[in-house]
Amino acid sequence: MNYDYDVIILGSGPAGFSAAMQTTKFEKKVLLVEADEKHLGGAWINAGTVPSKALREAAASIHKYNQLFSKQGFGKDYHRYKMADLLRFKEQVVNYENSEVKRNLIKNEVHTARGFGKLIDNHKVEVTNHLGSVSSYTGEFILLSTGSSAQTPKSFKVDDKVVVDNRSLVNMTHVPRRLVIIGGGVNAIEYATIFAALGTKVNLLSSREEYLPFLDAEIHLEFEKMLDELRMVIHNGVEVIGVGQNPLRNCTEVKYRDLDSNELRVIETEQVIHFGVRKPNTDGIGLENAGIETDESGYIMVNEHYQTSCENVYAAGDIVGFPGLASASFTQGRIASCHMAGIKGLKLSGAHPFGIYTIPEISSIGLTEEEAKAQGLDYTIGRAYYKELTKSSVSNTQLGLLKMVIDSKSLSLLGVHIVGESACDIIHLGQAVIKNKVDIRYFVDNILNYPTFSEAYRVAAFNGLNRVNKSGVKYRSLISSENGH
């Protein structure tokens, strides 16, 4: 049968974009359908990853400048730096990234159609543009990558002025002195530290019992110390009852209930940012027309090749659920595209890193100490505190920790957990060692650039080797791989 396209992709976020780029390399004809009338790139470029990271970079630079040169005489950060300056910088970055996406799609001859795409059957897509005109296209393969959106709050309204969300926070006219952030996920905590670093007094209200519960406990503790320095307060286990104006005190009030004590409490604030729980964008995309199955939360179920229950329809990115990251979406889209082209061997296996762009960053890969203990493994810990690194001295960054979980016998690396500057970058050194099954002597036998934050691996490896040595293994045999290690 003849189709209009080899592959039709719904959604131009990281999953759709990477699948489109990969598919063109196989000399196949691709149509990329995007519902957003103005922008390509999805939440990745327009509302999520890129804008939040541009604002973070601006806030972290201001914070760092103040750490290096002290705050004396400068006044508070929010007096010196205007929200408009930060937003202008963010806008430049977003515009550049938008133009890069467009340039790459044009260069690789990917066709685009603007409008809301819907499956009519497993080979046919109908696209309705913002003026209501409808076009239909057929494709041998279809990729669904329509992403996810935040659920709206039930007990109050987002008015995009006083109460904003991750999209409308770009309307904020100034850096507020007081801010309440509602939400306990990664994005909420990232934004909380961004504003706290700018001098805002931030209260974060989370319905969860603990924030970031998946972190290694020691890293969590170290991060907590850093939050204290930022004067940020996290209220776990609360339910927000409402947000309203108090005209007498000329402020906004957030009412919430502490779920443990059942007490009602109120926080006065200038502004509120709400981060809703994410849900997949599957409404109206015609899953039923192709017999595509979803799980109990509405996420599309896929196999390791990102194939749905309908063989020629694939799904990737936030629409398939965990981990719901741009980083993973890029790779998932590519794997789906390769599988459509008959390349079967690719799949995501083993441990993957995750990065949390708080100020400072947190990043992790592999087993935490708690997981190693629960599995009954014979492990050793190697630690490097940032204060031990020359790079930290020259950066005036004293707080930070790199922690390694090491297999005591083979000295292989089971996990790496970092909180501190550049954590999201330097984690990849640990990833390479874990994936390539090299042991921790890699860090002590090879020359690493100095001074760098990567040097933390070297310090932690020595620390780990010392511990193994103290447990009775001869040092000479430890440092020589010829002796059984």
Of 12 and 454, which has the nearer Cβ to ligand FAD?
Answer: 12
If the CB atoms of residues 16 and 415 are measured against ligand FAD, the closer one turns out to be 16
Task: Say if CB 179 and CB 78 are below 8 A apart.
Answer: no
Q: Which residues are bridge partners to 294 per DSSP?
A: 300
Q: Is the dihedral of CA 292, 133, 46, 243 positive or negative?
A: negative
In the complex, what is the shortest distance from the CB of residue 141 to ligand FAD, in angstroms, rounded to a whole number?
Answer: 16
* CB-nearer residue toward ligand FAD: 254 or 326: 326
Tokens of 462: 């020595």
CA 124/CA 139 separation, integer angstroms: 6
How many Cα atoms occupy the beta-carbon half-sphere of 152 within 13 Å? 8
Residues 68 and 396 sit within 8 Å (Cβ to Cβ)? yes
Minimal distance, residue 262 CB to ligand FAD, in Å: 32
Q: Which amino acid is at 38?
A: K
- For the bound state, the minimum distance from the C-beta of residue 331 to ligand FAD, rounded and expressed in Å, comes to 11
Q: Which is nearer to ligand FAD, 150 or 429 (CB)?
A: 150
- Report in angstroms how near the CB of residue 71 gets to ligand FAD at its nearest: 28
Residue among 166 and 206 whose Cβ is closer to ligand FAD: 166
Q: Which is nearer to ligand FAD, 54 or 413 (CB)?
A: 54
Nearer Cβ to ligand FAD (52/308): 52
Write down the least CB distance from residue 196 to ligand FAD, Å: 16
Rounded to a whole number of angstroms, the minimum distance from the CB of residue 60 to ligand FAD is: 13
Helix 14-25, helix 326-340: angle, nearest 10: 30
Residue 158 CB, nearest approach to ligand FAD (Å): 14
SS (H, E, C) the chain: CCCCEEEEEECCCHHHHHHHHHHHHCCCCEEEEECCCCCCCHHHHHCCHHHHHHHHHHHHHHHHHHHHHCCCCCCCHHHHCCHHHHHHHHHHHHHHHHHHHHHHHHHCCCEEEECEEEEEECCEEEEECCCCCEEEEEEEEEEECCCEEECCCCCCCCCCCCEEECCHHHHCCCCCCEEEEECCCHHHHHHHHHHHHCCCEEEEECCCCCCCCCCCHHHHHHHHHHHHHCCCEEECCEEEEEEEEECCCCEEEEEEEECCCCCEEEEEECEEEECCCEEECCCCCCHHHHCCCECCCCCECCCCCCECCCCCEEECHHHHCCCCCHHHHHHHHHHHHHHHCCCCCCCCCCCCCEEECCCCCEEEEECCHHHHHHCCCCEEEEEEEHHHCHHHHHHCCCCCEEEEEEECCCCEEEEEEEECCCHHHHHHHHHHHHHCCCECHHHHHCCCCCCCCCHHHHHHHHHHHHHHHHCCCCHHHHHCHHHCC
Binding region for ligand FAD (CB under 6 A): 10-16, 33-36, 42-44, 48-49, 52-53, 116-117, 145-147, 166, 187, 281, 285, 317-319, 324-327, 329, 357
Q: Which is nearer to ligand FAD, 106 or 259 (CB)?
A: 106
Nearer to ligand FAD, 12 or 122 (CB): 12
Least Å distance between CB 465 and ligand FAD?
Answer: 34
- By residue count, the chain amounts to 485
Decide whether 43 or 460 has the Cβ nearer to ligand FAD.
43
Work out how close the CB of 148 gets to ligand FAD at its nearest, in angstroms, rounded to a whole number. Answer: 6
* CB 235 to ligand FAD: min, Å: 21
Q: From the CB of 77, what's the least distance to ligand FAD, in Å? A: 22
Residue 36 vs 425, nearer CB to ligand FAD: 36
Whole-number minimum distance, CB 10 to ligand FAD, in Å? Answer: 4
CB of 320 to ligand FAD, least distance (A): 8
Nearest to 306 by CA among 330, 343, 333: 333
* Residue 417: closest CA among 361, 375, 465: 361
Q: Which is nearer to ligand FAD, 197 or 459 (CB)?
A: 197
| CB nearer to ligand FAD: pick between 306 and 385 | 306
